[in-house]
Copies of this chain bind each other. A is one copy, B any other.
Amino acid sequence: MREVAIVGVGGMRFGKYADRSIRALGEEACINAIRDAGMKPRDIQLAYAGNLAQWEWGQGLLIGHSVLRELGLTKIPISRVENGCATGSCAFREAWYKVATGACDTALAFGVEQMTVTGSEKILNVFTGRQHAERDGDMGNSAPGLFALMARRHMAEFGTTREQIAMVAVKNRRYGALNPEAQLTDPVTLEEVLNARMICDPLTLPQCCPRGDGAAAVVLSAAGIARRFNSAPVSVAASVQVSGSYSDAGSYTFFDTDVRAAEAAYRMAGLGPGDIDLAEVHDCFSVAELVHYEDLGFCRKGEGGRFVEEGQSGIGGKTPVNTSGGLLSKGHVIGATGISQIVELVRQLRGQAGKRQVEGARVALQHNGGGFIHTDTASCFIHILKN
């Protein structure tokens, strides 16, 4: 396989856009990415769209085709993918693979979701899966429930404190305040996080990511031609996809999918956790980020609490994590989330991250997980980027 580079990135501020069509959201991010690459839409040879669930608003099928038609891009192969909460990363990986194997020289990967236009009940239907209610839906085994159990178990096994878990939210909201594309831009204090509305003990509201509307896009090209488009291409050093189940871990203090994906990604890149200058990881809940530190090898098992408390996951620390503000600040805009993480890392590797810049960043890791509790299914994607 040949080397692939990211030559363009396009984001937008995640938020509530009930007044815009899902096509308009996708179009904004795609245009931004194509312009950033110094390309015209006609330079794109293939595209993947990530979208989880555009149904309830009647946004229809073929969302990738619909968005790209707005750009005049109608005759290239376009497909939509879904992989739970890791949907955006799945779109990126498929586009990367097609360039790496020579199916095309350039490709666009984007993700788009419009979640706030419909009632919360409809959103919950997706995540609780009415058809699976017979199994455990009635028992409250929802996403906050799963992650609260994980927090409790981590506290019991490793002495992690609820303050340490809450510090993840404080850190991420601090960086979110520096990111013009974040949805929540007010920093929060530790006291505010701890005293906020309890969602599922010990997780309070600021420790649970909001949902939102928005899109993100990246343009890839064969590395050999990348400088035609961009003077600062970023190389994809590893792309890994794994599936699994929550119960494979046999424990509620780590993700088996994380561990397997990280091992494969480090092997593919010929790097180790110590080489990672910064990372974007899937902080759907505060405790998730803390567990990901350990699963990805940024610290040892059980030391995630101390890692955040000591500032090792902050800018200036050993491995800055979620300088974008993470899902906790940006919101989890499902189809767009994975791509949005990559957008942040490319900006960091280019030195374009402004006040949240990690100085001298050369190697970055992106981690995006997904799962459906009611069928005990999970997925994980990891990408390692280098400049």
Q: When the two chains form their complex, are residues B65 and A379 in contact, meaning their CB atoms are under 8 A apart? A: yes
Instruction: Specify which chain B residues have a CB less than 8 angstroms from the CB of A81 in the assembled complex.
Output: 79-82
A83 CB contact (under 8 Å) in B62, B75, B129, B242 = B62
Q: Is A296 an interface residue (CB 8 A)?
A: no
Q: When the two chains form their complex, are residues A125 and B58 in contact, meaning their CB atoms are under 8 A apart? A: yes
Q: When the two chains form their complex, are residues B242 and A77 in contact, meaning their CB atoms are under 8 A apart? A: yes
- Which of A166-174, A201-209, A215-223, A370-378 binds B? A370-378
Instruction: Specify which chain B residues have a CB less than 8 angstroms from the CB of A198 in the assembled complex.
Output: none
Q: When the two chains form their complex, are residues B131 and A57 in contact, meaning their CB atoms are under 8 A apart? A: yes
Within 8 A of B (CB), among A63-102: 65-66, 69, 74-85, 90, 94, 97, 101
Known: A69-B376, A375-B65. A75 touches B21 (CB 8 A): no
Q: Is A185 an interface residue (CB 8 A)?
A: no
Task: Determine how close the nearest CB of chain B comes to the CB of A55; give it in whole angstroms.
Answer: 4
Name the residue of chain B whose CB is nearest to the CB of A47: B243
Q: When the two chains form their complex, are residues B61 and A53 in contact, meaning their CB atoms are under 8 A apart? A: yes
Instruction: Specify which chain B residues have a CB less than 8 angstroms from the CB of A84 in the assembled complex.
Output: 61-62, 65
Number of copies of this kind of chain in the complex: 2
Within 8 A of B (CB), among A262-294: none
A53 CB contact (under 8 Å) in B55, B241, B372, B377 = B55
Q: How large is the interface on A (under 10, 10 to 19, 20 to 34, 35 or more residues)?
A: 35 or more
Q: Is A56 an interface residue (CB 8 A)?
A: yes
Name the residue of chain B whose CB is nearest to the CB of A58: B130
Q: Is A103 an interface residue (CB 8 A)?
A: yes
Instruction: Specify which chain B residues have a CB less than 8 angstroms from the CB of A374 in the assembled complex.
Output: 60
Known: A59-B129, A62-B370. A245 touches B69 (CB 8 A): yes
Give the complex CA separation of A371 and B55 in angstroms. 16
Q: Which of A74, A244, A372 counts the most chain B CB atoms within 10 A?
A: A74
Instruction: Specify which chain B residues have a CB less than 8 angstroms from the CB of A52 in the assembled complex.
Output: 61
Q: When the two chains form their complex, are residues B131 and A77 in contact, meaning their CB atoms are under 8 A apart? A: no
Q: Is A248 an interface residue (CB 8 A)?
A: yes
Known: A56-B55, A126-B55. A23 touches B375 (CB 8 A): yes
Q: When the two chains form their complex, are residues B78 and A379 in contact, meaning their CB atoms are under 8 A apart? A: yes
Q: Is A337 an interface residue (CB 8 A)?
A: no
Instruction: Specify which chain B residues have a CB less than 8 angstroms from the CB of A126 in the assembled complex.
Output: 55, 58, 60-61
Give the complex CA separation of A216 and B111 in angstroms. 28
Q: When the two chains form their complex, are residues A131 and B60 in contact, meaning their CB atoms are under 8 A apart? A: yes
Instruction: Specify which chain B residues have a CB less than 8 angstroms from the CB of A97 in the assembled complex.
Output: 101, 103
Q: When the two chains form their complex, are residues A243 and B61 in contact, meaning their CB atoms are under 8 A apart? A: no
Task: Determine how close the nearest CB of chain B comes to the CB of A109; give it in whole angstroms.
Answer: 13
Q: When the two chains form their complex, are residues A377 and B74 in contact, meaning their CB atoms are under 8 A apart? A: yes
Q: When the two chains form their complex, are residues B242 and A75 in contact, meaning their CB atoms are under 8 A apart? A: yes
Give the complex CA separation of A103 and B370 in angstroms. 22
Q: Is A132 an interface residue (CB 8 A)?
A: yes
Give the complex CA separation of A56 and B129 in angstroms. 10
Give the complex CA separation of A21 and B242 in angstroms. 25
Q: Which of A62, A66, A371, A377 counts the most chain B CB atoms within 10 A?
A: A62
* A to B CB contacts below 8 Å, 20 in the list: A53-B61, A55-B125, A55-B126, A58-B131, A58-B133, A59-B129, A60-B132, A61-B82, A61-B127, A61-B129, A61-B370, A62-B371, A66-B375, A66-B377, A69-B375, A75-B243, A78-B83, A79-B81, A79-B241, A97-B101
Which residues of A approach B to under 8 Å, CB–CB?
21-23, 52-53, 55-62, 65-66, 69, 74-85, 90, 94, 97, 101, 103, 125-133, 241-245, 248, 260, 370-372, 374-379
